Amino acid sequence: MIRTATNAITWLIAMAIFATAGLAGGVALQTYRTTGHWQVPTYRDVGELARVLVRTTKPAPKVVYLHRGPIQLTGGTFDDATNNISSTVGRRGVDSVQLRGYRGSDAQWKRIVSCVRETFHPFDIEFVDERPTDDEYIMVALGRHPRDIGYGDHHVGGLSPFNGSVVHRAIVFAFTDSLQNKRRAICNTIAEEVGHAYGLDHTYECSDVMTYLPDCGPKYFRDRDMRCGEHEPRQCANDEPTQNTYRALADLVGLRE
């Protein structure tokens, strides 16, 4: 998972709404978080603030596109799945990357898709493996290895942009070779990275989908308040003491009828 500065967007919106300086106050905070010092906002800053506000106030997308084949992605500041633009790639300072896609059989792919759909079954989210005609969706790009997008750590099984809120048109990654091409590992990784795109933090609970802890049985989005953390408990994103992944997703997209 890739983590941006915790609470950056939340604080940005609070400043934009409550600061007596109005829009300029919100942008000033953004430039401070980016550069480390206060400065007069530019037109580019105002444009970026407007894009952030739009992205964080729109309804959460209810379609997730599982892209199986090779794909070329362009690095950018913001994610735009419809145009194959990835902020994750952009943070590596490269213009574009080529992912080789999933190399398993059709039968293996169908089992992965079925597993992901089952994991998200309670929620009103549709998982498809053909690119949607609508432009509001999250895309899962399948790669072989994190070095495909410039990451050298072979232990990385997946990556996602994360800011504590919904990342609209996000592109998230699952690296099948790093996951030893195991169906359950690929399924769990896709589910976790999609969860990050919906703003979910890591939970310190081995049976929850969003965990970093070793497996202790089937993983689900658990309907209970859980501490966040990777290898030890900590505060959750946006300084909340706990996270209920089931309720958080239900509030964002609704439950399946």
56-66 pLDDT, tens per residue?
568 999 999 99
* Residues shown for the chain: 257
Radius of gyration of the chain (CA): 18
13 or 63: whose pLDDT is higher?
A: 63
Residue with tokens 């500065």: 5
| d(C-alpha 29, C-alpha 9), whole Å | 10
Strand partners, 65: 128, 139
What rounded mean pLDDT belongs to the chain? 82
Neighbouring residues of 133: CB distance < 8 A, sequence distance ≥ 6:
none
| pLDDT for the residue numbered 257 | 82
| d(C-alpha 20, C-alpha 18), whole Å | 6
Structure tokens at 248: 């958080």
Task: Please answer whether residues 98 and 150 qualify as being in contact, where contact means their C-beta atoms are separated by less than 8 angstroms.
Answer: no
- Reported as a pLDDT band with limits 50, 70 and 90, residue 151 is confident
- Reported as a pLDDT band with limits 50, 70 and 90, residue 238 is confident
- Reported as a pLDDT band with limits 50, 70 and 90, residue 123 is very high
What type of residue sits at position 159?
A: L
Strand partners, 243: 226
| pLDDT for the residue numbered 24 | 32
| pLDDT for the residue numbered 1 | 52
| pLDDT for the residue numbered 79 | 97
First to last CA, the chain: 31
Q: At residue 86, what are phi and psi to the nearest 5 degrees?
A: -125, 125
Apex 158 CA angle, 133 and 56, nearest 5: 55
